[in-house]
Chain A
Amino acid sequence: DAGVIQSPRHEVTEMGQEVTLRCKPISGHDYLFWYRQTMMRGLELLIYFNNNVPIDDSGMPEDRFSAKMPNASFSTLKIQPSEPRDSAVYFCASSTGPEAFFGQGTRLTVV
Chain B
Amino acid sequence: GENVEQHPSTLSVQEGDSAVIKCTYSDSASNYFPWYKQELGKRPQLIIDIRSNVGEKKDQRIAVTLNKTAKHFSLHITETQPEDSAVYFCAAGGSGGYQKVTFGIGTKLQVIP
Q: Is A61 an interface residue (CB 8 A)?
A: no
Once the chains are docked, how many angstroms separate the CA of A44 from the CA of B100? 11
Residues in A whose Cβ lies below 8 Å from that of B89 = 42-43
Chain B 89-113: CB-based contact to A (< 8 A → 1; otherwise 0): 1000010001111111110000000
Could you tell me if B105 and A102 are in contact, using CB atoms closer than 8 angstroms? Answer: no
Distance in angstroms from A10 CB to nearest chain B CB is 12
Q: Using CB atoms, name the residue of chain A closest to B6.
A: A42
Residues in A whose Cβ lies below 8 Å from that of B100 = 45, 48, 56
Q: Is A85 an interface residue (CB 8 A)?
A: no
Q: Is A31 an interface residue (CB 8 A)?
A: yes
Q: Interface with A: B40-48, B53-61, B76-84, which one?
A: B40-48
Could you tell me if B102 and A45 are in contact, using CB atoms closer than 8 angstroms? Answer: yes
- Among A48, A91, A99, A105, the residue within 8 A (CB) of B49 is A99
Once the chains are docked, how many angstroms separate the CA of A66 from the CA of B104? 24
- Would you list the 3 A-B pairs with minimal beta carbon distance, nearest first? A98-B98, A102-B43, A43-B103
A residues neighboring B (CB under 8 Å): 31, 33, 41-45, 48, 50, 56, 58, 91, 95, 97-100, 102-105
B residues neighboring A (CB under 8 Å): 1, 32, 34, 42-46, 49, 89, 94, 98-106
